[in-house]
Structure 1
Amino acid sequence: MSDPARPAGALPLAGGWCWFDRVEVLSREEAPRIVGLGDLTEAERGRLSAPRPDFGDLSMDTPRVMGILNITPDSFSDGGLFLRPEAALMQARRMADGADILDIGGESTRPGAMEVSALDETQRTAPVIAALREGGLALPISIDTRKAAVAEAAFAAGVTILNDVTALRFDPAMAGVAASAGVPVVLMHSIETPITMQDDPRYEDVLLDVYDALAARLAVAEAAGIARDRLAIDPGIGFGKTLEHNLALLARLSVFHDLGVPVLLGASRKRFIGTIGAEAEAARRMPGSLAVALAGVAQGMQMIRVHDVAETRQALRLWQAATRGY
């Protein structure tokens, strides 16, 4: 909940802007049921209500906007627009006015995308990152990559966050590199590889399957030496999911708070938005993307990854003013 009629005894959700006074219990063995806060253990109450640690020097008590910068020729929405370093730098500076984090990637992970060599990916991203830092940009920058060599070069150039769409599964060296660098890490759920992930993806229960998979990847990251207070998760909307899978996840995004770490939502301009919103052109899906972003914020998502930074920032300001009453 986020309305002002908050009953006594309600708890903050993840220490943020939402509150709750009951929970839905989900199980593989029985139908969902609603219970009161008094039915929770102290540990369960703590996982759901405790403030999340800062992530990349950003407090998680307000929604954070992560701006997407694809330095690629073939990304599904903006491929080729920012491939030239000059264009990438201009777009990064433009987004920096409204973004809390810049997320820079040099390999498309759209459905059907082919793998890019680590060298090519590094040559696309590292010079832009270095130029931004040399130009005085102090904003947190994340590197969107699944390759350890690309991540290492990005860290050397000034990146402060790792965003791995495979949750450290693709490159066996990635977990060690991230642990040694000491950077915060976003673990995203995905299946297979971009070229095959949309080939009839199936789940027993998509919500609980994704939850369990992310819990397992958090354990792997911790075992590799990455402290839990440096980890965040992303349910991976659109990555190995059908429209129905995406909607099932969006309806109950708040379940992922039970993992006790910040949650990132990345749904900007995805295909399901075009399907439901009747817009075939990805670049024209900003209104639908805003609707999904605000639905995520209403469930306490701490980070929202978007292409349309200025529009998302404006929508967030209005949502916060309307729900807070000031």
Structure 2
Amino acid sequence: MTSFQREASLRRGLADSTDRLYLRPLGLTEGEAAEAAIAAGHAVRLAGAARGFSLADLYLRKADGRILAVTATPAGLRDWAAAEGLTEKIESWLARLSMPRPDFAGLAMDRPQIMGVVNVTPDSFSDGGDFLKPDNATRQARALAEAGASILDIGGESTRPGSVDVSAAEEQARVVPVIRALAGEGARISIDSRRAAVMAAALDAGAGIVNDVTALTGDPDSLDLVAARQAPTILMHMRGTPQTMQNDPDYRFAPLDIYDYLEARVEACLAAGLPLSHIAIDPGIGFGKKVQHNLQLLSHLALFHGLGCPVLLGVSRKGFIGKLSRGEEPKRRVPGSLAAALEGVRQGVQMIRVHDVDETRQAFAVAQAMAG
């Protein structure tokens, strides 16, 4: 069990050379208030958007597993770092947190984008069987695009807890006709798959993005494939497999553990030749996490901007919503999905993966208008 200790203030000797250091932006503002605070030097811009942070949690993970946490202003962090010889580490973190994100697959990352889910499967947790026929899936995808989805995420295999594997041939047969039809209409499509052969067939059919729940670890050929194709890729964290991921998952501290994992996967992609501009990450809400892990991640989403690439959040209709409420079935979890999505946007998440596009777009419109 990790020992977590919150410090009252920054002090000399808090860190040593073996510590892992992390910054979690706090004191978030957006719109006109953020621009004024940034201009006055009271806040740091977050991910190049009209959003800033005036405080940050500094986490120090000790070699013995302890975690020390202390809240400070960016100016206070810089002063402390200068005294401790940690200026390079702090400035590197602040630079990654603040730098503008380039367009991802042709989409601007200075505003939230909506990814609409189309499951061409008989057994997905929320809409399994609804869109198994290609014509039904294509009609649903068109409706999601009309409602405001800027990406259509097409998947042919359920990865819900306990799901049954399908063959690559079956998965490919489900998704390729749908992708080909939509690509011919100019849609921006991601392929939700963990198999290199399916990714390749989808890219050939017109998909432009790879969305892999295994962060390119599920198939030994997938990393080389996306690097060779220079395909914009979303790396998601999942512990175990869909069959095993909910077998008592445990973490030392979920946000930092998952940050470390995704950092390593980003570095693997860079080493393979995929540039940072072609990488996005997803902390994987619900994939090998208990309710408390999901809540920790949702409260620490801004931490993941430290990876320097766009963040995707997928919370739509997920099981933790029912567990926090009254056990509602998936299609009755829309209000909870919207609450979690809005928290993601508040913390600067660039993409939200949802089933209910029209409702999400409306919630975003109202929230953005209120923020100025």
Structure 1 length normalisation: TM-score?
A: 0.96
Higher strand residue share: 2
In the alignment, is residue 130 of structure 1 matched against residue 167 of structure 2?
Answer: no
RMSD after superposition: 1.1
Aligned equivalent of 2:29: 2
The 1-side partners of 2:367 and 2:257 are apart by: 31
Gapped regions of structure 1 (runs ≥ 5): none
Q: Which of 97, 100, 105 lines up with 2:150 in the alignment? A: 100
Identical-residue share of aligned pairs (%): 53
Matches for 1:1-326 after TM superposition, within 5 Å = 1-3=28-30, 4-6=32-34, 7=37, 8-9=40-41, 10-29=43-62, 30-38=67-75, 39-40=77-78, 41-97=90-146, 98-134=148-184, 136=185, 138-324=186-372
Deviations 1:161-207 (A, max 9, x none): 00000000110000011111111000000011100100010111111
Partners of 2:296 and 2:54 lie apart in 1 by 23
**Runs of 4+ in structure 1 over 4 Å off:** none
In structure 2, how many angstroms separate the alpha carbons of the residues matched to 1:107 and 1:269? 18
The alpha-carbon deviation at position 116 of structure 1 amounts to: 0.9
- For each residue in 1:67-94, what CA deviation from the matched residue of structure 2 results, as whole angstroms up to 9, or x when unmatched? 0000000000000000011110110100
What is the CA deviation profile of residues 248-304 of structure 1, one whole-angstrom value per residue up to 9, with x for unaligned ones?
111111100111110000011000011112143101111110000001000000000
SS in 2 for 1:2: strand
Whether the 8 Å CA contact 1:2–1:18 is kept in 2: the answer is yes
Q: CA deviation at 1:17?
A: 3.0
Deviation at 1:28, TM superposition (A): 2.3
Secondary structure in 2 matching 1:90:
helix
Task: Check whether the contact 1:279–1:285 (CA below 8 A) recurs between aligned residues.
Answer: no
Q: Residues of 1 paired with 2:29 and 2:275: CA distance? A: 31
- Quick one: which amino acid aligns to residue 124 of structure 1? R
Aligned pair count reads: 322
Q: Which has more radius of gyration?
A: 2
SS at match of 2:187: coil
Asked if structure 1 preserves the Cα contact closer than 8 Å seen for 2:285 and 2:315, the reply is yes
Q: CA deviation at 1:22?
A: 2.0
Aligned residue identity for 2:102:
P
Distance 2:50 2:213 in 1: 27
User: Which sits farther off after the overlay, 7-16 or 59-68?
Assistant: 7-16
Give the Cα separation in 1 of the matches to 2:225 and 2:165: 21
Gaps in structure 2 of 5+ consecutive residues: 1-27, 79-89
What is the CA deviation profile of residues 13-58 of structure 1, one whole-angstrom value per residue up to 9, with x for unaligned ones? 0011321122111122343111221224432221111101110100
The CA deviation at 1:228 is 1.4
Amino acid at match of 1:291: A
Rounded to whole Å, the distance in 2 between the matches of 1:201 and 1:77 is 22
TM-score using structure 2 length: 0.85
